[in-house]
Amino acid sequence: MKKITLIWILFFLPYFVFANADTKSKEMCECLKKAKSSQAESDKKECLNLREKHVKALKKGSKQHEGYLKSLNQCEQELAGLPQVDPNLSTEEKTKLVCDCMKQATKQNRMGCFKLQSDYAKTISDSEEKKAFNLNSQSCGE
């Protein structure tokens, strides 16, 4: 009986662990949405406290924490009005998206465009292609 219980726990444990990270990222995303719409300092502080609590619970650097950050990154991009990063686009398409973002963004929102640029750069494995992308996408923001 103990072996069956142990097998059951080992089989379903990853599901519960990752579901926990997913639940926490959704909870954090809702907090960020609320803080963005209310603009109240107390709501922003609540999100900071919640994030700290989540990082402790998920053990920074763990697989669960990485999944949490990935889901949270998607939420933050959505809140900033940035398109989701599509690694399957050509380098030219990626450059155009970054340049369009730079042209349309106000000074306050340009940080989101730099993040978009960074995220797209991470999707390019060839070092020469990545270098060309960075140069081309940086020059369009000037």
pLDDT tens-digit profile of 42-82?
A: 988 999 999 898 888 888 888 888 888 888 888 888 887 77
Cβ-based neighbours of 82, under 8 Å, separated by 6 or more: 101, 112, 113, 115, 116
CA-nearest of 54, 102, 56, 97 to 75 is 54
| Predicted local confidence at residue 4, as pLDDT | 60
| Structure-derived torsion over alpha carbons of residues 15, 11, 57, 26, reported in degrees to the nearest 10 | 0
Residue 96 has pLDDT above 50, yes or no: yes
| Residue 116 near residue 85, CB atoms below 8 Å | yes
Cβ contact 87:122 at 8 Å: no
Helices (H), the chain: 2-38, 41-58, 63-80, 91-104, 110-122, 127-139
At 67 the pLDDT is 86
Residue range 3-46, pLDDT digits in tens? 665 554 555 444 344 447 888 889 989 999 998 888 889 988 99
Tokens for 43? Answer: 């709501």
7 token code pair: 């097998």
* Annotated domain spans of the chain: 2-80, 91-139
